[in-house]
Structure 1
């Protein structure tokens, strides 16, 4: 029996639709990408397939929702050659090296260099001019001590984590969710996101790179981004702080939501990782299709795990680069399997009800 590298689960409405009709690219109205740093390497093969084949001929608009690495991945869409852009991002990110003890300034400067090589100014123009792929990035606008750097920021983070552990809505005392959206989008599917204070800003040539840098600016690791043009003044940080894997109302998406994800669980916010009671499920997301690696896929990876940021500290540069490249190559197994399931209509049998 052939090994399944990919697990495909769907909320009830999406599950029924796939069972009856299979999966058609025009049925998908929203593509989602989560925070997670290097974890996304195993999804690069899926991105390549989705960007270069599945959505390649699409004419109707596709909304994109991303935080941190998810937003950076999707910035390939709307460029002249999305597959080439995705592969460039993968290469630049996976081959990053730092000094023995990099500080916040060094890591931030390297992120800026990567961003400018991955998305030159003409690519920003192309993305904003086209209307097929409509970007939506979540960025956290900081309040109080969380807008500081250094030890004051650490105290703010600890305080906000404590508040979040009591009630997720209390996170809104420390952060505002800011949705930067493509100028062709009204962001109407987000209008009922009132779990946290939520603001909106339109993406432009003036703020595109700053907003993208901000949504990946991990607290204590990168500097916050100050005063993004077209948005309220303040310090902006990683969108995963408020929306790590998402816990949002998607009922106003007029169609299916496709969510390639690296983890079998969906963790709402950055501070919810250890709170096992806070997980988003298909019961809350009836229109979502969740694509994740199987345990067999993970077991076949070097070290039996997917890449993560701790690899910088645990492995030397040569080991890490080799491991990450293997993870990227192995991710193609999931892409090949999804392609086969869709082409042969096996997807009707492979989809599981996500409860």
Structure 2
């Protein structure tokens, strides 16, 4: 069984065929939304943080939304492996009362963030630059009352089924950036996009906002140094990302949950909605294989439905088993990139886009 697959865009594939893949080739690392899906990647994240990040000789942009932003903030930490472990354990041991409301869940999320956030990340002078993606809610989606939110987001989902071009009516993109960050994006899409400074007094707000799942977690109102508004999960705009992230002198490394790329959160269930393959020309996607996933508990990667399907103790044991098994992915990545035949194992990203 091959537990790990590597896919590359057209430019990245040519580079790998000619030069292989080394830490020095990486100019950006991408982290997607997906909540508990991250538990399939925790040891791969440790490997990249310990073996690759220290060997990237130039500035690297760490870009993420929702759990991806939390992961990237751990990558940016002065001790990334320790931060990843704290995030893993904090997320693993979430424990809520029956029928927990948004206020209770938000309280636990604050405690989780406080366990691994390093406020110095906002102005650090290291070469790891953090870019946290959140979304400003507009119109009815900005309300905090659960019933209004539910109705508003149902309407947004319906409109998005017809056209993703309707989403800018409801959301704007905000990117909180540490000092010196420079996103290698050729051209922004249809969403109004704000780039704001990440500071010690808004990093917690930014990380809370990017993970604020509508209805489930309270939004963040008017974070410091950012445009006025109600901020919610970055996945509303950038779930798996569909932006032309193309470094001039490097590649994008994308440790991902599965060979599935959807532009936004509302596109998850739409089989006809795809990302633009050209936007991934410089990207290397590393993800578990279907064979590996079939060996996990319930033959799937974790997701938020696990909170409802299992009692807390059962859910924790299931996720622990996934964490233990995903060590195999880190070992496989190490072996693949160090193999003289690595290029032969890399698949074109167009195989699943």
Instruction: Give your verdict on TM over 0.5.
Output: yes
Instruction: Give me the whole-angstrom Cα distance separating, in 2, the residues matched to 1:342 and 1:55.
Output: 15
Instruction: Give me the whole-angstrom Cα distance separating, in 2, the residues matched to 1:276 and 1:285.
Output: 19
Paired residues of 1:42 and 1:331 also in contact (CA < 8 A): yes
Paired residues of 2:26 and 2:60 also in contact (CA < 8 A): yes
Deviation at 1:181, TM superposition (A): 1.1
Instruction: Give me the whole-angstrom Cα distance separating, in 2, the residues matched to 1:96 and 1:307.
Output: 14
Hey, what does 2:174 align to over in structure 1? 178
Aligned with 2:119 (options 105, 110, 124): 124
Hey, what does 2:330 align to over in structure 1? 335
Deviations 1:45-86 (A, max 9, x none): 110000011222323110011000000011112322110110
Instruction: Give me the whole-angstrom Cα distance separating, in 2, the residues matched to 1:7 and 1:252.
Output: 23
Instruction: Give me the whole-angstrom Cα distance separating, in 1, the residues matched to 2:303 and 2:310.
Output: 11
Instruction: Give me the whole-angstrom Cα distance separating, in 2, the residues matched to 1:337 and 1:32.
Output: 20
Hey, what does 1:227 align to over in structure 2? 222
Aligned with 1:322 (options 314, 317, 328): 317
Deviations 1:246-305 (A, max 9, x none): 111224554211111102110110111121111226444211111111111001101100
User: After TM superposition, where is structure 1 displaced by more than 6 Å over at least 4 residues in a row?
Assistant: none
More displaced 10-residue stretch of structure 1: 159-168 or 38-47: 159-168
Secondary structure at 1:55 match in 2: helix
Hey, what does 2:148 align to over in structure 1? 152
More displaced 10-residue stretch of structure 1: 213-222 or 241-250: 241-250
Q: Which runs of 5+ in 2 are unaligned?
A: none
Aligned with 2:293 (options 280, 295, 298): 298
Hey, what does 1:203 align to over in structure 2? 198
Deviation at 1:203, TM superposition (A): 0.4
Hey, what does 2:76 align to over in structure 1? 78
TM-score, length of structure 1 as denominator length: 0.95
Paired residues of 2:122 and 2:177 also in contact (CA < 8 A): no
**1:104-119 to 2 correspondences below 5 Å:** 104-119=102-117
Work out the number of aligned pairs and report it: 349
Deviations 1:216-269 (A, max 9, x none): 000000001011000011100000011111111224554211111102110110
More displaced 10-residue stretch of structure 1: 176-185 or 230-239: 176-185
Tell me if 1:36 matches 2:23.
Answer: no
Deviations 1:139-160 (A, max 9, x none): 0001011000211112221222
Hey, what does 2:11 align to over in structure 1? 13
Hey, what does 1:165 align to over in structure 2? 161
Paired residues of 2:121 and 2:130 also in contact (CA < 8 A): no
Secondary structure at 1:344 match in 2: coil
Instruction: Give me the whole-angstrom Cα distance separating, in 2, the residues matched to 1:307 and 1:106.
Output: 22
Instruction: Give me the whole-angstrom Cα distance separating, in 2, the residues matched to 1:211 and 1:91.
Output: 21
Secondary structure at 1:137 match in 2: strand
Instruction: Give me the whole-angstrom Cα distance separating, in 2, the residues matched to 1:197 and 1:126.
Output: 26
Aligned with 1:24 (options 19, 22, 42): 22
Instruction: Give me the whole-angstrom Cα distance separating, in 2, the residues matched to 1:162 and 1:213.
Output: 27
Paired residues of 1:224 and 1:235 also in contact (CA < 8 A): yes
Residue 254 and residue 305 in structure 1: after superposition, are their counterparts in 2 closer, same or farther (change >3 A)?
same
Paired residues of 1:10 and 1:282 also in contact (CA < 8 A): no
Deviation at 1:206, TM superposition (A): 1.1
Residue 282 and residue 10 in structure 1: after superposition, are their counterparts in 2 closer, same or farther (change >3 A)?
farther
Paired residues of 1:164 and 1:170 also in contact (CA < 8 A): yes
Instruction: Give me the whole-angstrom Cα distance separating, in 1, the residues matched to 2:92 and 2:327.
Output: 16
Paired residues of 2:122 and 2:199 also in contact (CA < 8 A): no
Aligned with 2:131 (options 130, 133, 136): 136
Paired residues of 2:122 and 2:203 also in contact (CA < 8 A): no
Instruction: Give me the whole-angstrom Cα distance separating, in 2, the residues matched to 1:55 and 1:322.
Output: 31
Secondary structure at 1:290 match in 2: strand
Deviation at 1:197, TM superposition (A): 1.2
Please provide the CA RMSD for this pair.
1.4
Deviation at 1:349, TM superposition (A): 1.9
Q: Which runs of 5+ in 1 are unaligned?
A: none
